[in-house]
Structure 1
Amino acid sequence: MATIKDVAKMAGVSTTTVSHVINKTRFVAKETEEAVHQAIKTLKYSPSAVARSLKVNTTKSIGMIVTTSEAPYFAEIIHAVEEHCYRQGYSLFLCNTQNEPEKIKNHLEMLAKKRVDGLLVMCSEYTPSSLDLLSNFASVPMVVMDWGPNGNTDIIEDNSFSGGYLATKHLIDCGHKNIGIIAGELSKTTARTRYEGFQKAMREAGLTINKNWVTEGYFEPEDGYECMNKILQQEELPSAVFCCNDVMALGAISAITEKGLRVPDDISIIGYDNIHASRFYAPPLTTIHQSKSRLGAQAVNLLFERIAQKDKNELPHGHRIGIYPELVLRKSVKTLL
């Protein structure tokens, strides 16, 4: 295997000059540069990524810490992030944590050893332990892709409150007055803010929230199925149900169908996230759109800005960028007017 000394010898220059050509750290005459590149090509020389990173103080890699890569919403965002990184010549180290502090700690230590240039975080919920761990990583540029911790990190906000309000307002505008909700864990920020948006829309319309139609799940299809069955056991049924993510909506539709009822003829369903599969539900799901590609691109671009600012010792206080939810109309909500 060829070394940098072999390249220097063939090109008739010093190893320092070869290094400057590879890393673009100093002006080199065009003829000399061409000779070095020709030698590299002839010898099939591949510079050590580790050695190069030490020279230029960059590894062209970023770390991404997420709760899970299995959930469709997370998976689509991760795909968008990876694609954007690839186009910019960066590698992505993906770490699943299941929000376990020990896993977060181990992943952060691993990413530190790999000298990643920056870090993306999307953990859904942040415990005091995980916040402490992230604060210990403060010397690395960081972008938080959900509600996240305050401080010297940039945050992409998904405005879940507005999304919950928008979903419920649509049901009300379609003539629904008896509306239930299948929420996530209301102790969690994302679930709670969507529920608070639901509450606001109901209050504004002067509608009563039936506690028997308020259920909590864990953002999985099984939870949507079980929560919908609890609602279906009530003597009085809602005419519409807001499911706080699309996969719970899938479970809810399954439960409704098993009871011999139909969506939207008997019960209307609206989801949240607009995952790719939601358009292929039966019926196609009316939902709240969260642009995963836009979120991924903005997060990566913002992180690149932070990386560049770090090189210039310009790290301002973190700022927030909003991603605003949009209503997607399909076939799962019936108009009663």
Structure 2
Amino acid sequence: MPTVYDVASVAGVSTATVSRYFRQPEKVAEATREKIRSVVVALGYVPSGSARGLAARQTGVFGLCTWGRHEPDEFALPPLEAGAPVSIARDVAEPRLYPLFADEVLRGAQLECTVRGFALMLGWGEDDPGHAMISEVAGRVDGLVVLPGVVPDEVLEHVARRIPVVVIADPPGAGSPLSHVTVDNVGGMRAMTDHLLAAHGLRDLWFVGLQERRSADGAERFQGFRSALRAAQLPVPDEPQLRGTGFRVDARAMTEEMLRGGSLPEAIVCGSDQIALGVIDVLVRNGVRVPGDIAVTGFDGLDAGRFLRPGLTTVRQPMDALGRVAVELLTDQVSQGRRAPAHRQLPVQVVLRESCGCPPAQAVARAG
């Protein structure tokens, strides 16, 4: 296999210039870049990340560890056969026709890595008692972004002794070496609940929360919900009226059970858009009008909510910015050698659509 020394010799440049061509091409003269490019192509040279890491004590790679979970119906997709005839359908039932929270965070991390000249290694999984996945990824990267609930904090704190770690959403405990990026969950859900109370005059509101360990965001959103009810001098529940795993299929089951009970609140405030989509699906299929009979709101800002009918009123969090800011923090820590943990809270935005009882945007525009 050709080496960096072969490329340098044939191109008539130093090995440092060849390395700079791959890592910082803008700092290499155009004529020299073209000469190196031609030699690289002719020799079939591929730079060795491990060798570069040994030389520079850095790999030029960040890692992102995400959830390995899937909606149950994803596993039931029929196989796609090569050579099958073109089919015609009025609708499609595939469960993943839009990006979810983790997908948006990944997209943001990818974009920021592109801007800053880093590669991105992806790892996933939760049922990993030996934490093999995190060890494999952490041993190959300069820094690590981790979604909430994927790896226990004590494992991440051990990893943080060697490389910087940024956790998305879950704030670490006091004195933790972990950095984190989150959003204003409390303020966002407080503003959403205030809107339902003030603009629509609703008084009987239920909250759908999470029962998983990945619940720091959910707990904060429930806190914002309770804060709004307390300020309005309404009864404040100690626990969410409904709890689920966050899967759409589970939200459907909870909603069906609620319908069998025969008692509906005036509004269901969901801890995530994914839950809200499942709730609305069951309500509409059972003849319950949204928002005519019951209002439903979400939290995230998934694209699916824009195309749902009725459109989903939600709290939009900057999911892609979570990934971008996490990579920004890693870059600062790696380049400046700072290991002190950093913390950022990003703002959110309440987006009003029809599911809460607000008129369609088009109607508002015409009235204006």
Query: Residues 59-95 of structure 1, C-alpha deviation per residue, up to 9 Å, x if partnerless?
Result: 2211111224757111121122123223333221111
Say yes or no: does 1:194 pair with 2:221.
yes
Residue 266 (structure 1) aligns with = 293
Q: Provide the rounded CA distance (Å) in 2 between the counterparts of 1:136 and 1:31.
A: 39
2:39 equivalent among 39, 42, 47: 42
Q: Tell me which amino acid in the other structure corresponds to 2:357.
A: K
Match of 2:147 in 1: 122
Counterpart residue number, 1:331: 354
Check 1:237–1:304 CA distance in 2 against 1; reply closer, same or farther (3 A cut): same
After superposition, the C-alpha distances for 1:243-279 in whole angstroms (9 at most, x for unaligned) are: 1111111111122113212101111111110111111
Following superposition, the deviation at residue 327 of structure 1 comes to 0.2
Cα distance in structure 1, aligned partners of 2:240 and 2:179: 37
Shift of 1:7: 3.7
Q: Which residue of 2 aligns with 1:144?
A: 167
Find the counterpart in structure 2 of residue 161 from structure 1.
186
How is 1:204-215 mapped onto 2 (pairs within 5 angstroms)? 204-209=231-236, 214-215=241-242
> Counterpart amino acid of 2:292?
D
Q: 2:146 is aligned with what amino acid? A: V
Q: Which stretches in structure 1 are left out of the alignment for 5+ residues? A: none
* Residue type at the aligned position of 1:89: G
1:91: which partner in 2? Answer: 119
2:136 aligned partner, one-letter code: M
1:180 has 2:177 as partner: no
Partner of 2:14: 18
CA deviations on 1:125-169 (whole Å, 9 max, x unpaired) are 76xxx2221122111011111123242222112232223222211
SS in 1 for 2:207: strand
Tell me how far apart the structure 1 counterparts of residues 257 and 169 of structure 2 sit (CA, whole Å): 30
Task: Check the 8 A contact 1:182/1:241 in 2, yes or no.
Answer: yes
Q: Percent identity?
A: 26
Q: 1:42 to 1:64 in 2, by over 3 A?
A: closer
SS in 1 for 2:64: strand
> Structure 1 length as normaliser, TM-score?
0.84
5+ residue gaps, structure 2: 22-26, 72-99, 360-368
1:4 Cα deviation from its structure 2 partner: 3.8
- Quick one: structure 1 residues 334 and 141, their matched pair in 2 at CA, closer, same or farther if it must change by over 3 Å? same
8 Å CA contact 1:179, 1:213 repeated in 2: no
Match of 1:170 in 2: 195
TM-score by length of 2: 0.77
Cα distance in 2 between the residues matched to 1:260 and 1:182: 21
Structure 1 residue 301, shift from structure 2 partner: 1.0
Match of 2:155 among 103, 115, 133: 133
Alignment of 1:213-224 (within 5 A): 214-224=241-251
- In structure 2, the partner of 1:107 is 133
1:42 to 1:252, Cα distance in 2 relative to 1, 3 A:
closer
Matches of residues 49-68 of structure 1 in structure 2 within 5 Å? 49-68=49-68
What amino acid is the match of 1:164? M
One-letter code aligned to 2:137: L
Aligned counterpart, 2:85: none
What is the DSSP-based 3-state SS (H/G/I as helix, E as strand, rest coil) of the residue aligned with 2:169?
coil
Measured after TM superposition, the shift of residue 102 of structure 1 is: 2.2
Q: Could you give the per-residue CA deviations for residues 91-140 of structure 1, whole angstroms, max 9, x where no partner exists?
A: 21111122x3526x2122212432x01100112476xxx22211221110
